[in-house]
Amino acid sequence: MHIAATKPKALNEEGVPAADIAKERAVAVAKAEESGKPAEIATKW
């Protein structure tokens, strides 16, 4: 019930739009770089 209350965009990984994934990755990289992580670590996926 808790998951349904958050109104997920997709039911699985394949259902998530590529643009949303790219946006979230960019945010994660920016946060990692801001915290002082080296670039090769911040962009590691």
Q: In tens digits, what is the pLDDT along the chain, a chain of 45 residues?
A: 576 678 888 888 899 999 999 999 999 999 999 999 998 888 886
Q: What is the pTM of this model?
A: 0.68
Q: Which residue has the tokens 């209350």?
A: 5
What range defines the domain where residue 9 resides? 2-42
The whole-angstrom separation of Cα 28 and Cα 44 is 11
User: What SS3 class is residue 33?
Assistant: helix
Kindly write down the DSSP assignment for every residue of 4-30, as one continuous string: HHT--S-SSGGGS-HHHHHHHHHHHHH
The answer for residues whose C-beta is within 8 angstroms of residue 9's C-beta and 6 or more apart is: 15, 16, 17, 20
